[in-house]
Amino acid sequence: MNLPKSVSIITPTFNRPEALVCNLMGLRRQMDLPVGLKVEIVVADDGSGEPTRQLVEAQKTDHPFEIKHAWHEDKGFRLAKIRNAALRMSEGEYIIFLDEDCVPSKDWLKNHLALAEKGWFVAGNRILLNQEFTKMATSDPKRPFMDYSSWDWFLNYFKGYNNRPFPHLRIPGSWWRRLRPQKWQVLKGCNMGIWREDLLAVNGFAEDMEGWGHEDAHFAVRLIRLGRRLKDGRFSVPVLHLWHKQNDRSKEEENRKKLQAILDSDEIRVKAGLVYE
């Protein structure tokens, strides 16, 4: 299996620098990466204000990975559009999407690269943290909560801090990761890995899907229709998902109808995506 020689980590964000700094701190701690691997982070900013810009500029000065900043004006929830803007700015042959409120463990990037395989895209998972623990974690991003031991997380589970007792559990083997190759419902856009060439083939994300809901499913359906298969990233690339208030879901039904339209069609490339066709 050929590992990617370059990777772009695309991190969508919106006015939550206290979460983004934890994300970037987690990325600082990545270990055991292949020699010569080129890594960049592209912050995909959906219209944040000055505090986020200042944070990104400060992180650029000493972060081990190059950081780029894609930004557009705040006109509501436009995740698909800012993801596409970040993709156009990125250079990696392999793309990993990691939301601002998701904090990776030290082996996250190494394991994502190990799962990368032509013809497949990787669906990572998340460990949900509760509001109380998130408040403690984001109050001091230098606190080593991302380096807690398995025993620490096991105890935290019984305190209600996290929804899984063994977030650091790693299960080897690959056969079981291929058991749901067309299960598009599994994909979570907060933690997923895709080859750049496949993103280009489906023309990226559907920019007519604005507001929260179903944009990742829309994307996964088109990837599978392209002939790509979903690989399960559980017990290999989990992330710690900081608590946040529920997003505005006023456009969810509209987006659900757009998802159903894709399911009822044979469409692979969207017309309003990375390029407008």
94 bridge partner residues: 7, 195
- What mean pLDDT comes out for the span 218-223? 97
pLDDT at 157 over 70: yes
Which residue bears the tokens 């669906």?
Answer: 123
121 bridge partner residues: 230
Beta-carbon contacts of 224 under 8 Å, excluding residues fewer than 6 positions away, are: 181, 182, 184, 230
Q: What is the DSSP letter of 162?
A: B
Q: What is the pLDDT of residue 168?
A: 84
Residue 271 CA to residue 249 CA, distance in Å, equals: 24
Q: What is the pLDDT of residue 154?
A: 94
Domains of the chain, each with CATH number or no CATH = 6-263 (3.90.550.10)
Contacts of residues 200-203 at CB distance under 8 Å and 24 or more positions apart, as own/partner, are 200/274, 201/226, 201/268, 201/269, 202/226, 202/268, 202/269, 202/270, 202/273, 203/269, 203/270, 203/271, 203/273, 203/274, 203/275, 203/277
The dihedral built from the CA positions of residue 246, 143, 102 and 67, taken in this order, carries a sign that is positive
Which residue bears the tokens 């750049």?
Answer: 196
Identify the band that residue 244 occupies on the pLDDT scale cut at 50, 70 and 90. very high
Contact assessment for residue 41 and residue 65, using Cβ atoms and an 8 Å cutoff: yes
Residue 144 CA to residue 195 CA, distance in Å, equals: 32
pLDDT digits (tens, 9 = 90+) for 99-147: 999 999 999 999 999 999 999 999 999 999 999 999 988 887 666 687 7
